[in-house]
Amino acid sequence: MFPTYEIRWAYSSKIVREKLKAQSNSNCLIDSPLEALNKFFEDKFNEVIVQSLHVIAGFEFNALRDTILSFSNNRFNFSLALGLPLITSLNDIDKVNKYLLSSLPLERSADDAVIFFAHGSDHYSGLAYTAIQHQLTKLDKNAFLTTVEGEPDVNSVIGECVEKGIKRAYLIPYMSVVGDHIINDMDSEEKDSLKSILREAGIEGISIMKGLAENENIVRIWMDHLSAAICKMENKSDRV
């Protein structure tokens, strides 16, 4: 999509960086955002656009923003722009919800629940998950969102499913990729996983192991935010 730009990857999560390094069969470097920015500076770039692949503007996104601000303030003639995460507006929420609900398995019936499984956060931006749930129910009365941390919590969502007499639920990640939280906290046979708790409540859980970044329509939202950051860079407006 951006043929005139050099694209490099960096990972804000130390856990992810260590796992990628362990899985790598070569000596390739898995950079943090700060390491990647330093390399751009050393390679004589003077303009860099950083695109967040976070879902909300929570703690990790704000740490990334702080890194960029600090780096930019300490490098003369080095310009940086930051693309926003996936969900930063009601319009983003409605787009993501619409794309997810339109890609449900064909065998899902109106009596089946759909439970989207998000990370959650006690950062104030975590309130976005409550807004997502509110907007979901406008589109589908049996669509829910729950989180690993924070609200909406698992027990309240399962309670609603039991009250409605739901016997089957599709479990779908509301995270960028299928990582540990999806594998262990959503889909595993551990007694405290979402699937196991549903089973205890008499509800069959069917996991769809596909992250948000595997949905082309949702990826376009991130790319729209990147395009907006590029425009800010070109217009020399407030960039971070």
Instruction: Single out the residue of 124, 134, 107 nearest to residue 116, CA to CA.
Output: 134
Active-site position among 54, 119, 181, 225:
119
Provide Rg for the chain, Cα atoms: 20
Distance, CA of 180 to CA of 60 (rounded, Å):
17
Q: CA dist 94 to 131, 135, 163, 182, 210, Å?
A: 10, 7, 26, 23, 19
Q: Give the list of residues 6+ apart from residue 169 with CB closer than 8 angstroms, or none.
A: 112, 113, 114, 115, 161, 198, 203, 204, 205, 206
Known catalytic membership, residue 119: yes
Task: Catalogue the active-site residues.
Answer: 119
